[in-house]
Amino acid sequence: MNPTEKLAEMLEKVRAYSPHADLAPLEKAFAYSVKAHENQARASGEHYFVHCAAVAESLIEFKLDLPTVCAGLLHDVLEDTPVTRDQLAAEFGNEVALLVEGVTKLDTLQFVSRDEAQAENWRKMLLATAQDIRIILIKLADRLHNMKTLNFLDREKQERIARETVSLYAPLAHRLGMFRLKSELEDLAFMYIHPAEHAALEAEVREMTAGRDAALERFKSSLEKKLADTHIPHRVLARSKSLWSIYQKMQRQKKPFVEIQDGMGVRLITDTVANCYALLGLVHTEFKPVAGSFTDYISVPKLNLYQSLHTTVMSPQGDLIEIQLRTEEMHRTAEFGIAAHWRYKLGAATPDAHLEEKLNWLRQWIEWLQDLKSPREFLESLKTDLELHQVFIFTPAGEVKVLPAGATPLDFAFTVHTEIGMACVGARVNSKMVKLDYQLQSGDICEIQTKKGSVPKKDWLNHVRTARARSKIRQYLREKGIVT
């Protein structure tokens, strides 16, 4: 890596989306990081600064503000060099120092086990993230480059880091709506968790890609012709499915790769919500839709605010094509998630409602996680609440509540309201009485029965999956001296 060329490249990319920014702090952070890490090397043998530059480049790709990019360049100086927090703040200001401090791990010598160290580092980082969301964006960029260079570590470390990535980092990227990053992290982890399956699936996908690309181009051409006279503004993008998501679908459906129907897909991007539905009507008129394949994530967005219409149609040649329809704003959110909202918040006169909604969810969630004293319980709750597979449960009034797969009526009760959860004595699902450990399924209508004066029981801790329910139950039991 030529440092002069690398710096010039970074400056040019930042200027492209932030033309009026004073880039002197970026130049200073670049030089400072090179100097601080000058005697350090990565496991690959490369100069350590190569990693710092890669993290900053990812943050530039997210089009983040200058303090975040500077913190990306400096993210390891507190952890891996003699530089102190006060020295860093004196050189770059408190904002950059806070960001770097937020991603700095605690000294592992403080802890008796790896579980405890991992849990406390996550707790520290999430608490810092609740104050400034940019901290998690730096951490995700850091993990992305670490995953790209995992081949230089021994097998045990590769598998441990890959499993942590797929169980914590990728779901967190998903929860923040950063789908492109999530897919990249999962595919990189897949190589190390299931190397044989990854190699076999990659070969199958490569073999089928030539034929599929041709089929996809034929469909795109046919679609463009059908939409040419509509005068609805739109663009068509091809969509490739990640290897990990194909593998997961194969496992869930117990099907070989050739039978997975949504390996091929396109995105139709337009200007307004009304035009999303108008284009959907035209697509269904021109191409035969597959029964049961339509999902409306515009009317009911996912927890991470993802919005699109999904449908699968049959092409004239008999190929199954999944189509996602969304607006340009929805597309930005789907690609960059919270990073996109952060970007649009910069310089805005009013706060971004989407960003505030995400931060409120994060703050509340961290509050619940803080109540869990055992490191193992903390990590398990963290993984559960980041669960990608969700169920959509209805209140009797028709309001939708989104819960992780495996959630019970008790989880549902606490999601509706803490007081309803505390006084819960029973539940009816689809008009039938069920036990409190019943696993809810998408589409269930759940009605909670309460009784004045009723209180949580200790065995409830065995029947809940969400951090919120677990935290509220433990808090009550601890106050009563039932648990410590």
| Bridge partner residues of 78 (DSSP) | none
Residue 164 CB coordination number (10 Å): 16
Phi, psi values for residue 388, rounded to 5°: -75, -30
DSSP state of 165: I
Give, for 60, the enclosing helix (H) or strand (E): helix 49-61
Whether residues 47 and 152 share a domain: the answer is yes
Helix axes 409-416, 467-479, angle to 10 degrees: 80
Quote the number of domains for the chain: 3
Decide which of 101 and 260 is more confident.
101
Looking at the structure, tell me whether residues 153 and 221 fall in a common domain.
Answer: no
Mean pLDDT within 33-45? 90
Tokens representing residue 252 in the block:
């869930």
Instruction: Look at the block and give the residue holding tokens 């994060």.
Output: 362
pLDDT tens digits for range 250-285: 888 888 887 775 557 889 999 999 999 999 999 999
Q: Are residues 125 and 44 in the same domain?
A: yes
Residue 380 located in a structural domain: no
- Which contiguous run of DSSP H or E holds residue 267? strand 264-270
pLDDT category at 292 given cuts 50, 70, 90 is confident
Kindly state whether residues 109 and 28 are assigned to the same domain. Answer: yes
Q: Which CATH number do you get for residue 475?
A: 3.10.20.30
Reported confidence tier of residue 348, pLDDT bands at 50, 70, 90: very low
Residue where a domain terminates, one of 139, 160, 178 = 178
Q: Report if residue 195 sits inside a domain.
A: no
Q: What is the CATH number of the domain that holds 159?
A: 1.10.3210.10
Q: Are residues 171 and 208 in the same domain?
A: no
Nearest-5° angle of CA 88, CA 52, CA 42? Answer: 115
Q: Are residues 426 and 291 in the same domain?
A: no
Mean pLDDT within 195-218: 82
With a pLDDT cut of 70, the percent of the chain lying above it is 89
Do 244 and 171 share a structural domain?
A: no
For the ranges 217-226, 249-258, 359-368, 442-451, which has the lowest average pLDDT? 359-368
245 and 328 share one domain? yes
Domain co-membership, 164 together with 37? yes
- 267, amino acid identity: R
% pLDDT > 90, the chain = 48
Q: How confident is the model at residue 351 (pLDDT cuts 50, 70, 90)?
A: very low
Query: CB under 8 Å to 360, separation ≥6 — which residues?
Result: none
Do the domain assignments include residue 273? yes
Residue 123, C-beta contacts closer than 8 angstroms, at least 6 positions apart: 369, 370, 378
Residues 25 and 170 occupy one common structural domain:
yes
pLDDT tens profile 381-398: 777 767 667 788 889 988
Round the average pLDDT of the chain to a whole number and report it: 86
Domain containing 71 equals 3-178
178, 195, 218 — which closes off a domain? Answer: 178
Span 204-231, average pLDDT: 79
pLDDT for position 30: 96
pLDDT score, position 337: 75
Q: Which of 133, 162, 178 is the last residue before a domain boundary?
A: 178
Q: Where are the alpha helices (DSSP H) in 62-194?
A: 66-74, 77-80, 85-92, 94-103, 114-131, 134-148, 155-164, 170-175, 179-193
Q: Answer yes or no: is 196 within a domain.
A: no
Residue 350 lies in a domain: no
pLDDT surpasses 90 at 456: yes
Note whether 155 and 226 are same-domain residues: no
The verdict on 141 and 258 lying in the same domain is no
Residue 249 maps to a domain: yes
Kindly state whether residue 91 falls inside one of the protein's structural domains: yes
Has residue 350 got a pLDDT over 50? no
pTM recorded for the entire structure: 0.76
Q: 288 in a domain, yes or no?
A: yes
Give the residue from 260, 275, 235 showing the smallest Cα distance to 312.
Answer: 260
Q: What is the dihedral of CA 227, 232, 234, 236, to 10 degrees?
A: -10
Question: Please, what is the angle between helix 353-370 and helix 114-131, to 10°?
Answer: 150
The CATH code of the domain that includes 222 is: 3.30.460.10
Mean pLDDT, residues 460-467 taken together: 90
Residues with a known catalytic role = 79-80
